[in-house]
């Protein structure tokens, strides 16, 4: 069995919904994981923001506008009275529910319930569409099996057991549809796998069912060697290892959710990135095999904060690092990059939830300096310890901008560099020119 995940643009309109039919109706068994229609989750986030600010009228107006938009999609998508009226009822039911929440107090839980509407509607629409055409399919609710634990990690035992039960009940079906992104938390409440989480849903489902392959269908033909939103003429990479793809996803390649490679790597399940607009393009295949190449790809992760801790007491002392790390552990804040000298340590984080508390705690260890609006550039390639030279092409590319931190040797397949976010576009473009000179960058 395979798992197919279709992202927001792949279900972005009535036309795109119809274009999925030949891709999924090929007489092989598959689980189809869907995102919300493009723009929906952003609109639901905006609506929740207004709700959290107490602007209930404004959130109600937004809700009504979305309800109308979805009615228009339903009009364009269904031709029979039966399925059209089911779709219109479904839209009213979901937006009626959202509207009813606005009469209650805002809470994080109510926000999660609102954010779940997009995937609940898109999956129902696909199921209705297939039913209208006469193609058998079944919809299994992700909230019946997808669950995260108290640390926000997938609860694999629960997921496996519950998904197995759901699948056993629909054993003969070829097309099994479910929602990406949404899940329950350890308390049974509606939650989600964070923005872009449908990729993660797909690989978690792939791992839980030991699928033959996970296919992530999106609006671009595979993972490119640089961020196409900032660099022109980027090129697709045909093969990547799990480790390489995981680094790129974690360090900002938006095509994949940051954690989405982990479940596939754990069970050695190939992940294929495909383009719904060009289904014949082979895209990118991610497996355990790495084909060495000096430079493969570049990605950038914004929203980084650097903390510099300086103390003369560090000189020749031991136990210092432990004390610093304990602060981050205490506030459940992961560190991305770290560099050290005899008297100072620089660390980066991307989660500012406990920044003030962390700075306060670190101040008892040394003088702390904080710098925000930083970006980590990650270059994936062959950086195994026996590589000759220090990758001068990277540093030549960056020689017109301030380089704040460098992490070389931490991993055999990547180098990370910290820069000011304002220098990101120039850095990415210059890296493409230097590392991938065969590309025609304008």
By CB under 6 A, name the binding residues for ligand ADP.
Answer: 7-10, 35, 196, 218-220, 223-224, 227-229, 253-255, 299
Rule CB under 6 A: is residue 195 a binding residue for ligand ASP?
yes
Cβ at position 358, least distance to ligand ASP in Å: 27
Rule CB under 5 A: is residue 263 a binding residue for Mg ion?
no
Nearest to 126 by CA among 169, 87, 79, 71: 87
Cβ at position 223, least distance to ligand ADP in Å: 4
Nearest to 14 by CA among 83, 70, 93: 70
Cβ at position 367, least distance to Mg ion in Å: 41
What are the strands, taking DSSP E only, across 120-208? Answer: 138-139, 175-179, 182-184, 190-192
229 binds, options Mg ion, ligand ASP, ligand ADP, none, Cβ within 5 to 8 A by partner type: ligand ADP
Binding mask 191-230 for Mg ion (x = CB under 5 A): -----x----------------------------------
Looking at the Cβ atoms of 175 and 202, the one nearer to ligand ADP is: 202
Report d(CA 367, CA 345) in Å as an integer: 11
Looking at the Cβ atoms of 53 and 302, the one nearer to ligand ADP is: 302
220 binds, options Mg ion, ligand ASP, ligand ADP, none, Cβ within 5 to 8 A by partner type: ligand ADP
Q: Tell which phi-psi region holds residue 131, choosing left (phi > 0), alpha (psi between -120 and 50) or beta.
A: alpha
Contact predicate 227/429, CB 8 Å: no
CA dihedral 315, 319, 323, 324 (to 10 degrees): 50
Rule CB under 6 A: is residue 347 a binding residue for ligand ASP?
no
Cβ at position 196, least distance to Mg ion in Å: 4
Token pair, residue 247, equals 């680094």
Helices within 197-336 (DSSP H only): 198-209, 242-250, 261-267, 320-330
Rule CB under 6 A: is residue 206 a binding residue for ligand ASP?
no
Token pair, residue 438, equals 């065969």
Cβ at position 282, least distance to ligand ADP in Å: 15
- Report the residue number whose CB is nearest to Mg ion: 196
User: What's the sign of the alpha-carbon dihedral 376, 380, 384, 387?
Assistant: negative
Contact predicate 272/284, CB 8 Å: yes
Rule CB under 6 A: is residue 198 a binding residue for ligand ASP?
yes
DSSP secondary structure letter of residue 36: P
Size of residue set near ligand ASP by CB under 6 A: 12
Rule CB under 5 A: is residue 12 a binding residue for Mg ion?
no
> Which chain residues interact with Mg ion by CB under 5 A?
7, 196
> Which chain residues interact with ligand ASP by CB under 6 A?
7-8, 35-36, 41, 118, 180-181, 195-198
């Amino acid at each position: 069995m395979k798992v197919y995940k279709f992202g927001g643009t792949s279900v972005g309109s009535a036309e795109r919904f119809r274009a999925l039919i030949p891709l999924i109706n090929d007489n092989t068994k598959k689980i189809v994981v869907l995102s919300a229609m493009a723009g929906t989750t952003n609109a639901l986030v905006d609506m929740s923001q207004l709700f959290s600010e107490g602007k209930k009228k404004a959130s109600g107006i937004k809700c009504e506008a979305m309800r109308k938009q979805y009615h228009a999609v339903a009009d364009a998508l269904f031709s029979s009275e039966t399925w059209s009226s089911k779709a219109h009822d479904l839209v009213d039911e979901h937006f009626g529910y959202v509207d009813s929440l606005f009469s209650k107090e805002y809470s994080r839980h109510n926000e999660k319930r609102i954010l779940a509407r997009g995937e609940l509607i898109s999956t129902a629409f696909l199921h209705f569409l297939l039913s209208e055409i006469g193609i058998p399919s079944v919809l299994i609710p992700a909230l019946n099996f997808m669950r995260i634990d108290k640390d926000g990690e997938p609860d694999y035992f629960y997921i496996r057991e519950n998904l197995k039960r759901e699948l056993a009940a629909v054993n003969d079906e070829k097309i099994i549809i479910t929602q990406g992104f949404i899940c329950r938390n350890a308390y049974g409440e509606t939650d989600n796998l964070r923005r872009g989480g449908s990729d993660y849903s797909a690989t978690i489902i792939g791992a839980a069912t030991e699928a033959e392959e996970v296919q992530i269908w999106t609006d671009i033909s595979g993972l490119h060697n640089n961020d196409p939103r900032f660099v022109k003429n980027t090129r697709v990479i045909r093969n990547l290892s799990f480790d390489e793809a995981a680094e790129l996803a974690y360090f900002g390649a938006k095509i994949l959710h940051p954690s989405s490679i982990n479940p596939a790597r754990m069970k050695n399940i190939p992940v294929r990135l495909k383009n719904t607009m060009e289904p014949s393009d082979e895209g990118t295949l991610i497996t355990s095999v790495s084909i060495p190449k000096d430079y493969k790809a570049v990605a950038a992760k914004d929203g980084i904060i650097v903390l510099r801790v300086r103390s003369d007491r560090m000189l020749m002392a031991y136990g210092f690092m432990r004390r610093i790390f304990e602060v981050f552990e205490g506030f459940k804040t992961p560190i991305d990059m770290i560099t050290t000298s005899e008297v100072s340590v620089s660390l980066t984080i991307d989660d500012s939830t406990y920044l003030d508390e962390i700075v306060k705690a670190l101040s008892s260890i040394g003088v702390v300096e904080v710098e925000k609006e930083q970006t980590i550039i990650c270059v994936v390639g062959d950086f195994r310890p026996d590589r000759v030279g220090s990758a001068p092409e990277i540093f030549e590319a960056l020689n017109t901008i301030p380089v704040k931190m460098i992490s070389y040797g931490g991993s055999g397949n990547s180098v990370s560099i910290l820069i000011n976010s304002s220098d990101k576009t120039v850095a990415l473009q210059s890296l493409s020119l230097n590392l991938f000179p065969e590309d025609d960058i304008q």
